[in-house]
Structure 1
Amino acid sequence: MHLTKEQLAQFDRDGYLFFPGHFTPAETRALTGAVPGLYARREAFNVREKDSDAVRTNFAAHMVSEPFAKLARHPRMVEPVRELFGEDVYMHQFKINGKMAFEGDVWQWHQDYGTWLNDDQMPTERAMNVAIFLDDVNEYNGPLMFIPGSHRKGVVEAKHDLTTTSYPLWTVDNALIAQLVERAGGKDGGIVSPKGPAGSMILFHSCLVHASSSNLSPWNRVSVYLSLCAVSNHIRRFKRPEYIAHRDFTPIACLPDDCLTAPYPVDLPWRNGMPASALVTSPEPFEQLRKAA
């Protein structure tokens, strides 16, 4: 798929694009059917909620699950990002966020690039998030909230929140959030929240400030978040485990468009468990590690 001039202009202005029903019900079912088995595994790549056993985030499903390995190579997801960057991309991070009914906790206001810069030493914001709904998303089950145009501020000041939830995040101060919302239109569009059926897709800029509230509804809100980075912009530090911040900078090679419902072979290197190397971290910059080797 190719983005239109209007879509490119909207992305530049607002920092995101929304594609309702981008994947068919059959394609979406191929993904949702694999989630319970992934969530049931007692491995490091499943981060659970602070006060319950519900999975908050599953990392690296594309390394262990055939449907998600196919999604990671899907042209409807990869090609628009590649077009926006004008170069090949690699998978920096792959998450399945489980905002489970009654138990899904908040995601505080943040920019994803803030974490990638501070923790991973990603040189610039030439990385993109792709969110794909695996459940219908409505106003009650904790939808994403964006501040349109906030990506134009670049990297904003953030603090490392280690206590609010079970997953640490570089979060944005409330006073700055209020300023950004007012600048974006206040009560008239200063916060937007794309909602739609399972299979919908959002592309959003890595500097777009976003959040989501807790899920107090009886409906799950499970979504896949794929973070694609321009190959030339790969991370320079391995402070976080490989299952969180990937170290394979090979450009993504797309599969055919029908890959989610047709039998195409894919490599699953962690099918039988993560290697010990996936847990190894280092505070040293990547270039220093390479020279030492």
Structure 2
Amino acid sequence: MKLSDEQLRFFEEQGYLFFPDCFDAEEMAVLQAEAARVLAEPREEIRREKSGVPRTAFAVHRYNDVFNVLAHDPRLVEPLEQIFGEPVYMHQFKINAMTAFTGETWQWHQDFPSWQRFDGMPEPRAMNIALFLDEVKPINGALMLIPKSHRHGALPDAYDDLTTSHPGWYLKPDVVSKMAEEGGIIAPTGRPGSLLMFHANMAHGSPPNMTPYPRRIVYLTLSAVSNHLRGEQQRPEFIAHTDFTPVRAGAPDALRERARHAEPA
């Protein structure tokens, strides 16, 4: 999948791109079934909410064949190769599960400051790609973004907030308020198969999910190969990968073919 000049200009200005219904129902059915299997496993790569329900499953492409196929999908790989002008490697692959009724808040944050601080990533030449596994509604913990916030760069003016089960480095309210005055706040919604790409310095977060509707999203973080990690990493390898081998785009219909030969759920 190649981006148009107009899409490239929009990304540079706004910091994100959204593609509704990028993956079809057949592809999503097999991904949904495999995600349910993964999140039910007692693996060390799965972090949990205070209630014990899964919050994030890391490195899923390494122990699940279907998600490994997804990791090479040209709809995910090619746009980033185009933006960075070089091959990309997988910095992180995860499923975030905003569980029905109990999904907790993700406070406002930028990703690159953590990648730089904890992983040794030199520059924000990496990007998140979010594939909706479930329908993302305005009411079930939709991911919120502040357009144009990537233009502020990586902000050290942040604080540790331990109010959720995921300790992190979160932006102060006055910083978020200033960003929102400039760019507003959006919450892209859509059916399973919708695709969101956003800049490494984009401010984003999610409210809790108090509805009966789960909101699972697959996140790939792809980084320019020249932007590989330096120094000693502070997080487990399954969170911040140290294999900088370029991710090669696979066949356009590989996931669909895998779906047609999948075992029944």
Q: Deviations for 1:8-29, whole angstroms, at most 9, x for unmatched residues?
A: 1110111000000000011111
Alignment of 1:151-230 (within 5 A): 151-159=150-158, 161=160, 163-184=162-183, 190-230=184-224
Partner of 1:240: 235
The Cα shift of 1:263 comes to 4.5
3-state SS of 1:240 partner:
coil
3-state SS of 1:26 partner:
helix
The answer to whether structure 1 residue 118 and structure 2 residue 101 are counterparts is no
RMSD: 1.2
Q: Distance in 2 between matches of 1:253 and 1:262?
A: 18
Partner of 2:225: 231
Partner of 2:247: 252
The answer to whether structure 1 residue 15 and structure 2 residue 15 are counterparts is yes
Q: Distance in 1 between matches of 2:258 and 2:185?
A: 41
Q: Distance in 1 between matches of 2:258 and 2:190?
A: 28
Q: Deviations for 1:41-93, whole angstroms, at most 9, x for unmatched residues?
A: 2121110102x121110000000001100010000111001100000000000
Residues 229 and 65 (structure 1), Cα distance of their counterparts in 2 relative to 1, 3 Å cut: same
Q: Distance in 2 between matches of 1:46 and 1:258?
A: 29
Q: Is the 8 A contact 2:159 2:171 kept in 1?
A: no
- The aligned length equals 258
3-state SS of 1:155 partner:
coil
Where do 5+ consecutive residues of structure 1 fail to align? 185-189, 265-293
Q: Distance in 1 between matches of 2:41 and 2:258?
A: 25
Q: Deviations for 1:133-179, whole angstroms, at most 9, x for unmatched residues?
A: 00001100001111100001101124453622222221100011001
Which range moves more in the overlay, 6-15 or 150-159?
Answer: 150-159
Partner of 2:263: none
Larger radius of gyration: 1
Q: Distance in 2 between matches of 1:168 and 1:53?
A: 16
Alignment of 1:1-293 (within 5 A): 1-50=1-50, 52-159=51-158, 161=160, 163-184=162-183, 190-236=184-230, 237-263=232-258
Would you identify which runs of 4 or more consecutive aligned residues in structure 1 move more than 4 Å?
none
The Cα shift of 1:38 comes to 0.9
Q: What is the percent sequence identity of the aligned residues? A: 46
Q: Deviations for 1:225-250, whole angstroms, at most 9, x for unmatched residues?
A: 10001000011132110110001000
- Give the TM-score of the pair, scaled to structure 1: 0.86
Q: Distance in 1 between matches of 2:172 and 2:66?
A: 38
Q: Deviations for 1:223-281, whole angstroms, at most 9, x for unmatched residues?
A: 001000100001113211011000100000121011112149xxxxxxxxxxxxxxxxx
Q: Is the 8 A contact 1:47 1:166 kept in 2?
A: no
3-state SS of 2:165 partner:
coil
Q: Distance in 2 between matches of 1:160 and 1:34?
A: 36
Q: Is the 8 A contact 2:161 2:170 kept in 1?
A: no
